[in-house]
Amino acid sequence: MRLSMLIAGAGLAAAAWAAEPAPKDTTATNPLGGKTTPATPAKATPGQPRQITWEELVPKDWDPAKEFKGMDLSALDDGDPRANELLMKMQEVSNNAPTNPAMNGTEIKIPGFIVPLEEAKGEVTEFLLVPYFGACIHTPPPPANQILHVVPQKGAKFRAMDTVWVTGKLQTLRNDSMMGVSGYHVSAATVTKYTGGSK
């Protein structure tokens, strides 16, 4: 049972790392599945945040799968200590995923899914923003460079896995939480309902 969970987790993590669909119909350039998002980065308007894609947060030369190439997960039996070692190694690579230093200090706008960390009076006051549905809740966390730690200037009336636009200053700042390790921090000026397009 544990091995099958490892293999399933490995598949989802690898999909997230490779910016392939994970789960169905969601990708780094289309994080909200069947809803439309720009395939290419939008150009910034002076005085306005730049709409970015999740792909821009990953350094172009990073290959998280290189340490695991050639491994045959099906050769590991349940209870095999090597399965636990592999799981720990995969989690370590994911938690230490490098950020893109060129993005530090950029005023950005990005869509994603909310994973609440703190709530007060029915509002989310701190959350993780993730690129696909179920991340950190129903599936293993994405790599750290695909998780944003968001602190809105004022509480937001949203629930877990609601889709939102987040705008604010992006910083390459690591944060460990019970739901996952984030490589970026955003002091969010706004958190608004995702309605498609770039609104």
Residue 26 has pLDDT above 60, yes or no: no
Q: Domains in the chain: how many in total?
A: 1
Distance from C-alpha of 31 to C-alpha of 23, rounded to nearest angstrom = 10
Alpha helices in the chain (DSSP H): 2-17, 81-95
Q: To the nearest 10°, the Cα dihedral for 139, 144, 148, 149?
A: 90
Q: Tell me the residue type at 5.
A: M
Q: Is the dihedral of CA 156, 160, 162, 166 positive or negative?
A: positive
Q: To the nearest 10°, the Cα dihedral for 93, 111, 39, 172?
A: -40
CATH number, position 104: 2.40.50.870
Cβ contacts of 126 within 8 Å, gap of 6 or more: 116, 117, 118, 149, 150, 151, 152
3-class secondary structure, 79: coil
Distance from C-alpha of 76 to C-alpha of 13, rounded to nearest angstrom = 18
Residue 47 has pLDDT above 80, yes or no: no
Residue 182 has pLDDT above 50, yes or no: yes
Residue 137 has pLDDT above 80, yes or no: yes
pLDDT above 90 as % of the chain: 55
Mean pLDDT value across residues 11-38:
44
Mean pLDDT value across residues 33-58:
69
Q: What is the mean pLDDT of the chain?
A: 81
Give 97-130 pLDDT, tens digit per residue.
999 999 999 999 999 999 999 999 999 999 999 9
Give 62-95 pLDDT, tens digit per residue.
998 887 787 777 777 777 888 888 888 888 999 9
Give the Å distances, CA to CA, from 8 to 36, 97, 139: 28, 20, 9
3-class secondary structure, 143: coil
Predicted local distance difference test score (pLDDT) of residue 127: 98
Q: pTM of the entire structure? A: 0.76
20-24, 46-50, 159-163 — which is least confidently predicted? 20-24
Residue 12 has pLDDT above 50, yes or no: no
28-32, 111-115, 121-125, 156-160 — which is least confidently predicted? 28-32
Predicted local distance difference test score (pLDDT) of residue 19: 38
Confidence band, pLDDT 50/70/90 cuts, at residue 30: low
Q: Which domain holds residue 27?
A: 1-199
